[in-house]
Chains A and B, each alone.
Chain A
């Protein structure tokens, strides 16, 4: 028996199941990311998706764009200019190195090692995976540092790099998407300048207005609707004017924090509570796209992306750290701490799957990113622990509930 469920009911089922699985995973100290994905998999075409159908077209695109816009706003507002300068060239150089390294190696590996899979050219497919490869999930790294009371220059650099590289990931993604959508390289670059420059200006101007409003609106309950309204407005205008929505939202976050100065965090703290919900949406939606046949038929692509991103992160972090004058410990051991990939990458993959140019390969892109995210989730904490151990920064393991 087949049945069609309304979109809101489907979304509610995804959220409730994701939350339930996440709570159970937390109770047994298992990764929540995997729990969310497994919850989503229940609704995949191989399982309940056979009988439950939904018009998951336009609404899922709007939902994904809005959700990723919220994350981009938070990423943009996570840092001030003074903090960026204080972090120093070692952290910034290493972040640039590891992000660019992952983008470059994934691009080259997919371009040269993967045969034409149809739907898009190999060049476009390589650019698509390269666009997603830069971001790193900070949660896993922070958890390992906390669990082992790690202290020292590597731990500090690691924290700085994982906090910065999602911003670089969104910049790489936005630039590559504009170029991919261009008719030619020359045309692509002209369009890229307009779309990216326009997005930055739109975000900066709206951020200035949001900061001004934030100074005058004192009721705490008004801040969340004010910020969400601004994010939606900016994304909507960006789409209407054919500018990059993600860069617009990130620029909105950065500029509103910049203009509001010391009290800038009042525009971010209320929205940060939404981050977990956004990631539940991403992981369960991506899980619902899981197809075992796609997984098997593109196993080579999964392996190539998995290893290429690791090699890019390791080499890029090492080169970036070396160029920026980091000590040897950081040059050798920064890379292994940067393996996790999670919410932002999955969100970017879902966004990519809605681009008309990638329509025919969207299911492949989402499945590859989903499978590699789970693999990185298993490998990431071990690699980070090894790096901290070898660098001599591992402390005494923390017992639960004790300082």
Chain B
């Protein structure tokens, strides 16, 4: 099955912020949707430029509760920048024309819960949720 087809059958809401959003603004978005674990950062032209995980944001916001800091963490704590500076620019993605099997392999390899699907123009189309894939596999095995 192609990824595009999977996305049509399993539409998933994706949450994005602008690259200029402050940590407080990103946090407000994260907390506005219970269970949200991934936020994608968009450039001015709408292309996806980065990813912010729930864990990374928690580490930044709750830094003062950590008794041990590296120098990098100390500086992040007192001089934290916008989403552009704190996002990760290296993350696994899928293309809508790829086969689902290939993506699933990558998803398991890199331990990714929600794999973002990005088209050739860099626009975010949705995410492939690992739990939904498990559901599908379970249904198929139960049916056979």
Chain A, range 55-104, C-beta contacts under 8 Å to B: 74-75, 77-80, 82-84, 86-87, 91
User: A74's contact among B70, B76, B89, by CB below 8 Å, is which?
Assistant: B70
Question: What residues of chain B lie closer than 8 Å to A359, measured between beta carbons?
Answer: none
Q: Which residue of B lies closest to A147 (CB)?
A: B67
- Return A401 CB to nearest CB of chain B, in Å: 11
Inter-chain contact total with CB atoms closer than 8 Å: 82
Q: Does any Cβ of A come within 8 Å of B75's Cβ?
A: yes
- In the complex, identify which listed stretch (B9-17, B79-87, B96-104, B126-134) lies at the interface while the others stay far away: B79-87
Q: Does any Cβ of B come within 8 Å of A403's Cβ?
A: yes
Chain A, range 87-130, C-beta contacts under 8 Å to B: 87, 91
With known contacts A82-B81, A403-B65, A138–B86 Cβ distance under 8 A: no
Q: Mark B43-77, 1 if CB is under 8 A from A, else 0.
A: 00000001000000000000011111111101111
**Are A160 and B75 in contact, CB atoms less than 8 angstroms apart?**
yes
Total chain B interface residues with beta-carbon distance under 8 A: 24
CA–CA, A35 and B74, complex, Å: 25
Question: What residues of chain B lie closer than 8 Å to A263, measured between beta carbons?
Answer: 88-90
Q: Which residue of B lies closest to A220 (CB)?
A: B110
Question: What residues of chain B lie closer than 8 Å to A209, measured between beta carbons?
Answer: none
Question: What residues of chain B lie closer than 8 Å to A272, measured between beta carbons?
Answer: 70, 72
CA–CA, A82 and B20, complex, Å: 14
CA–CA, A87 and B50, complex, Å: 24
- Return A259 CB to nearest CB of chain B, in Å: 12
Total chain A interface residues with beta-carbon distance under 8 A: 38
Q: Does any Cβ of B come within 8 Å of A242's Cβ?
A: no
Q: Does any Cβ of B come within 8 Å of A377's Cβ?
A: no
User: A146's contact among B67, B75, B76, by CB below 8 Å, is which?
Assistant: B67
CA–CA, A162 and B74, complex, Å: 9
Most chain B beta carbons < 10 A, residue from A80, A142, A160, A403: A142
**Are B85 and A266 in contact, CB atoms less than 8 angstroms apart?**
no
**Are B79 and A74 in contact, CB atoms less than 8 angstroms apart?**
no
Q: Which residue of B lies closest to A162 (CB)?
A: B74
Q: Does any Cβ of A come within 8 Å of B78's Cβ?
A: yes
Q: Does any Cβ of B come within 8 Å of A265's Cβ?
A: yes
**Are B66 and A82 in contact, CB atoms less than 8 angstroms apart?**
no
**Are A159 and B77 in contact, CB atoms less than 8 angstroms apart?**
yes
**Are B90 and A163 in contact, CB atoms less than 8 angstroms apart?**
no
With known contacts A82-B81, A83-B79, A159-B78, A218–B71 Cβ distance under 8 A: no
CA–CA, A79 and B88, complex, Å: 16
Q: Does any Cβ of B come within 8 Å of A275's Cβ?
A: yes
With known contacts A146-B64, A263-B90, A266-B90, A160–B78 Cβ distance under 8 A: yes
Please give me the 7 A-B residue pairs with the lowest Cβ-Cβ distance, nearest first.
A78-B71, A163-B74, A83-B79, A86-B79, A78-B72, A146-B67, A263-B89
Instruction: Give 5 pairs: A residue, B residue, CB < 8 Å, sorted on A.
Output: A83-B81, A145-B64, A146-B67, A166-B71, A262-B85
